[in-house]
Structure 1
Amino acid sequence: MLIHYRKYYFLLCFLSINLFGQKNPDSLLSAVRFQLSSNPDKVVEVAEKVLKLDNLNKKTEIRALFYLANAYSGKRNYKKALQYSLQGEKIAGENHYIDRQIGGLNIIIQQYEQLRMYDRALSYLNKADDLAESYPQRDSIRKLIGNNYYLRGMIYRHQFNNELAIKFLKKAVAEYKTEPNDLQMVANQCIAMDNVGFCYLDQGKIDSAQVIFSKTIILGKKINNNNSLGYTYLGLAQANILINKTNEAEYNLNTALLLSKELGDPNLSKDLYKWLSYNSIAKNDLESYHEYLKRYVDADNDIQKFEKDFMNNIIFESDKRSTEKTRINSQSFYIKISTLLILHILAIYYLFL
């Protein structure tokens, strides 16, 4: 009798181990949520593993696709980022998950905004705004609404319309502030505030820029948001250089440079080398100036080559789809003509009979 009980007990233990060993796919994704910037390869590994699971529900599938899109965006593989975000947005639309569809559109818009394809970005942004307006539970999608404001603000900033950019970036900050305990919302708030600061610099409002960058540093340190802090220190350094505080600028630039190496952000590194060269000139350090200028030019060339290759890839894929569509249409036309001729021949044959 005791032996039988032992068998059941060991069987129960075995089943329990297997039960707890099979992690929920949403839990797997949540575990890497904050590694999108610091460790995108890990996010890709986990998201791909989740997508291979059996009986995956649509919401989790969409979430995994968006994680892949964000991770590949962090790796600057915009082709795959667009591929997965478009795929996730399509599934969300087919299943009427409006909130997830808006989230997917946010990711798509961000890719086009980073590639300076503003017309495409705005067309998707208008669609996202329309969906947000039609969503009955506005409070539950404040992050997405904030993202819409932020992306619109960024497009205006790149188009040198700083007044409109500040207006929409501040609207984004207001939306992000509604959830002070949500780390992602606070991180987004820091990024939006950074860009308000850069707009102030463009307008020559140095004092306003310094105030907002100082606030962002305090907020970013509270949540260890190194991704935002790199740009915040860069902005503060720019303000220092413009008022000839070269020592403070050098400290802030070197702090940002350490963060950029940790993050592997080529755009941040490029901008830092440029402003380090400016600060070297201000300090009359010509040797450092030439060194940083060379690094800036090399970084800029690498980025331009990458973007050119990516754009050529998009054009090639577009031409390929267009050619395929033309071939299919031509084939369809010839089939219709052939069918029509056969029917005429049969009709004439029937009449003669």
Structure 2
Amino acid sequence: MKTSNYSFWLYLLIGCVFTTQTFYAQNYRKLDSIINVAGNEIYVNPDHVIEVGQTIVKSAGDNVNYKIKGYKLVSDAYSSKRDYEKSLEYLIKASELLDQSNDDLLKITIVNKTGIQYHQLKVYDKAIQHLDQAEQLIADYPNKDSIHSELGKNYIVRGLIYKENLSCAIAIAFIDRGIAQLLKSKDKADAATKISIAIYNKGNCYLLLNDNKKALENFQQSAKLAQEVNAKSLEAFALKGSAKVYALEGKNSDAINALNKAVELSSEVNDLILNQEIYRGLAENYLAINEWDKYKINQGKFIDIQKLIKDRERNSVSESLDVKEVELKIKQEDSSKRFYYLVLLLFVILSLGIFFFYVIIKRKRKEVEAIKNQIFVLQNKKAKEV
């Protein structure tokens, strides 16, 4: 009877555990699905993605990996809005949890993202440092089919940094390497988004190289890819790039048409940098064809947005300086600790040296006293004999 009761409770316990595990597995699969859908909306509706990411963090419970994924989703959405201060804030939250995670691929993603974030903040030395770290983690990761996307982003961001610091020729070579990796990625929608960004930046490089034909080809290809995945802000950027080529060639009407289409697309995204460039382009092209009223309207919008961007950039620079200050403080603390340890070591060595010499001197004194006593004894003995 007792055995029967024991078996009943054992089966009940196993059933509860199995049901709980099944529930959590289903819940996590649901979160994965939500993350994938939200990831495709980052350039379409970033505000909604931010809400989704924050909900995932709350729903993750004790699961560290899903908290990290939620924070990264929020960070990515703020990046797409050019709010790098907020983006960094959530990325730091994700990074602080990495030591508790056993997901190596997730660690690669966060370290890579940190490098990208520093690039966006124009802290290029820190960007390269994290990109190098991510590349090493990628090299050590056994399943190579899973890291094409991260390696692709790594190469592309390196290209963008080299564009600023070295040359466009080197930048294009790295961007092409990145695109080649992204084409191998299993997530075709995400890869298309990243490739659209990469090709857009290639277009900018060709503009700097005064190759308008290749620049336009890349901008048009970028717009096409963005349209296929409904990435409205990326399509608007590509149209802005095409408009710049048209303006350089004196085709102001074509430039205005492209920019007006970009305005429609960007109205749902609220990207200040994008809107600033669009309205500046419209003002310049309307001025070129002597449409003064439209020039004044667009110039006014450009100035208003420029003021908002400057305010945001001050915050981003402040955040960047805060990061540098924290790093400097940590280095100073490490240097202070090393100095104190060195002083302590020297003190111990000096103390041991003094003690050693003290022992030797004391021993020598005893030996001298012993010799003196022996001499004294011999002298007294000799005196008695006389």
Indicate the TM-score class for this superposition, using the shorter chain for normalisation.
Answer: 0.7 to 0.9
How far the C-alpha of 1:207 sits from its partner, in A, is 0.9
How far the C-alpha of 1:320 sits from its partner, in A, is 7.3
The one of the two structures with greater contact order (alpha-carbon pairs below 8 A, sep at least 6) is 2
Structure 2 partner of 1:223: 229
Distance 1:146 1:324 in 2: 32
Structure 2 partner of 1:105: 111
Structure 1 residue corresponding to 2:182, chosen from 176, 180, 196:
176
CA change 1:316–1:110 in 2 (3 A) is: closer
Distance 1:298 1:219 in 2: 31
The 5 Å alignment of 1:1-353 reads 24-53=30-59, 55-159=61-165, 161-179=167-185, 182-316=188-322, 319=325
CA change 1:30–1:216 in 2 (3 A) is: closer
Question: Would the aligned equivalents of 1:86 and 1:104 in 2 still touch at CA under 8 Å?
Answer: no
Question: Would the aligned equivalents of 2:57 and 2:67 in 1 still touch at CA under 8 Å?
Answer: yes
How far the C-alpha of 1:219 sits from its partner, in A, is 2.6
The residue identity in structure 2 corresponding to 1:156 is: Y
Task: Give SS of 1:45's match.
Answer: helix
How far the C-alpha of 1:208 sits from its partner, in A, is 1.0
Larger Rg: 2
CA change 1:275–1:181 in 2 (3 A) is: same
CA RMSD of superposed structures (Å): 3.3
Comparing 50-59 and 117-126, the one that deviates more: 50-59
The residue identity in structure 2 corresponding to 1:219 is: L
Distance 2:195 2:328 in 1: 41
Consecutive unaligned residues in structure 2, runs of 5 or more: 1-18, 345-386
Task: Give SS of 1:51's match.
Answer: helix
CA change 1:320–1:143 in 2 (3 A) is: closer
Structure 2 partner of 1:346: none
Question: Would the aligned equivalents of 1:92 and 1:98 in 2 still touch at CA under 8 Å?
Answer: no
Question: Would the aligned equivalents of 2:219 and 2:242 in 1 still touch at CA under 8 Å?
Answer: yes
Question: Would the aligned equivalents of 1:69 and 1:107 in 2 still touch at CA under 8 Å?
Answer: no
Give the aligned length. Answer: 319
Distance 1:56 1:26 in 2: 16
How far the C-alpha of 1:224 sits from its partner, in A, is 2.0
Q: Percent identity?
A: 26
How far the C-alpha of 1:254 sits from its partner, in A, is 0.7
Comparing 264-273 and 278-287, the one that deviates more: 278-287
